[in-house]
Amino acid sequence: MNEFIKLLLKKRFAEGAQQMDWIKQGVHYVVPKNILGLLSWEEIEIRASGEKNIDVEKLKKITDYCNGDGDSKYIQRFWRVLENMSDELKQAYLKFVWGRQRLPVDMTNLDYRHSIYLLSDTNDGDKSLPESHTCFFQLDLPCYSTDEICEQRITTAITFCGEIDTDYGANNIADEDGDNEY
């Protein structure tokens, strides 16, 4: 009977061995095994998920502009507003536009870049909210007339549009059965 219990326990304790090996391989992909013991948990967290504080200058370096350029007064207004935001709002901006709250430590190997599409200034941009396309890491930015309006509209968008898709948006509400009502 004791032999049976020992074998049963051995089998049960080994059930997740393959999954644990896969997790170890993933960790060692981000943090090489030979330096893992030299890092604190905070340093490992930064390597795995990025800095908590968003460096706007790093974001600028990986930004492309559509329908305008970095010297546009509207783009400059956007950067001033973003730089003056709290770290929490900067993280919310990244989630709004990218679906992630942190920038990676090594941004040289990104598959795509942050882009800002400047909307035409012929419409009444002050009444519009910015839109994002998380699949493309893109912000559609209306032409706001002041920094204050820009800040208010961006803050409203990133605060109230926290989901990265429109599954349960205002025009697409799920009913009690989980079916979508339009």
User: Looking at the annotation, which residues are catalytic?
Assistant: 135
Closest CA to 114 of 93, 142, 144, 88: 93
Instruction: Assign 86 to helix, strand or coil.
Output: coil
For residue 138, count CB atoms less than 10 angstroms from its CB and return exposed for 0-12, middle for 13-18, buried for 19 or more.
Answer: buried
Closest CA to 72 of 138, 113, 117, 123: 117
Instruction: Give the number of C-alpha atoms closer than 13 A to the C-alpha of residue 93, restricted to the C-beta side.
Output: 31
